[in-house]
Structure 1
Amino acid sequence: MTHIDPPISDKAVAAVFAGFPRPARDGTLLLRSIIFEIADRDERVGGVSETLKWRQPSYLPIAKNVGTPIRLGVPKAGGFALFVHCQTTVINEFRTLFSGDFEFDGNRAVLFDSKASIEIEKITLLINRALTYRL
């Protein structure tokens, strides 16, 4: 997988990333890159829009009624996380596949402690599922 690193055009989003502690920033920027790559590869998604939701970078497919937003953030306990809407089945489906491989926060997030803890092949499945959740 070749990572796409488009510039962050929204100053508020850039400020949030800049405010993350260094290890969390590195990890969330890697997740951001994977999100953009998957969205660009799947024409059904039509790319993603990058905004802030609940003061976290948020990624929503540009195509209407295709997926659910993905948010990136830093939980109070530390590390960093990839969040999806808690009323979707995305996290529960991912937990069923990879229960021993990741730490979860209920049905809303996958938690990471470092950039090295991101298993790219597996997290790609989660991101793809979120971006195409309604299909």
Structure 2
Amino acid sequence: MKMEVQSKFDQYPIHIKPLLENLRELILEVAESLSLGDVEETLKWGEPSYLVKGGSTIRIDWKEKSPEQYFIFFNCNTKLIDTFRELYSEELEFQGNRAIILNARNSIPLHILRHCIELAMKYKSVKHKPLLGA
């Protein structure tokens, strides 16, 4: 992990840091399982950011104004959140067309998040398909 990304993780509250580290691991695991090559890990807009060739950027973060929530952000100029909402509106909570909202007190729907991350990582090859080919 790059120094600036590690520094950002170290700034998160004690109850949030392991949750975001788990999301990071899930993102890296999905990229590896799909053989998508190297994951570019950096800070964008001060948030840990992940990108693979042919994919759309995924960011994760926590905001002080919502202390029990943490977020997975997607590019708002894509069809990703609209697709996730269509597929998983019963299971996930969303913020506009840019984020999945997760609650620190609830377990995460791992198989659903894995699928959302996979669609973001393959976005450029599936963006023309209905529901991104899901």
TM-score interval for Structure 1 and Structure 2 normalised by the shorter chain: 0.7 to 0.9
Q: Does 1:53 align with 2:44?
A: yes
Runs of 4+ deviating beyond 3 Å: none
Match of 1:32 in 2: 24
Match of 1:109 in 2: 99
Q: Does 1:133 align with 2:134?
A: no
Aligned runs of 1:16-27 on 2, under 5 Å?
A: 16-27=8-19
Match of 2:58 in 1: 70
Report the TM-score when normalising by structure 1.
Answer: 0.86
Q: Secondary structure at the match of 1:23?
A: coil
Report the TM-score when normalising by structure 2.
Answer: 0.86
Structure 2: state its 5+ residue gaps. 126-134
- Give the Å deviation of 1:117: 2.8
- Give the Å deviation of 1:23: 2.3
**CA distance in structure 2 between the partners assigned to 1:42 and 1:105 by the alignment:** 27
Residues 27, 115 of structure 1: alpha-carbon distance in 2 compared, 3 angstrom cutoff:
farther
Q: Secondary structure at the match of 1:123?
A: helix
Contact 1:60–1:67 at 8 Å: present in 2 too?
yes
- Identity, % of aligned pairs? 34
Structure 1: state its 5+ residue gaps. 1-7
Match of 1:5 in 2: none
Match of 1:121 in 2: 111
Q: What one-letter code is carried by the residue in structure 2 that aligns with 1:71?
A: R
**CA distance in structure 1 between the partners assigned to 2:28 and 2:38 by the alignment:** 7
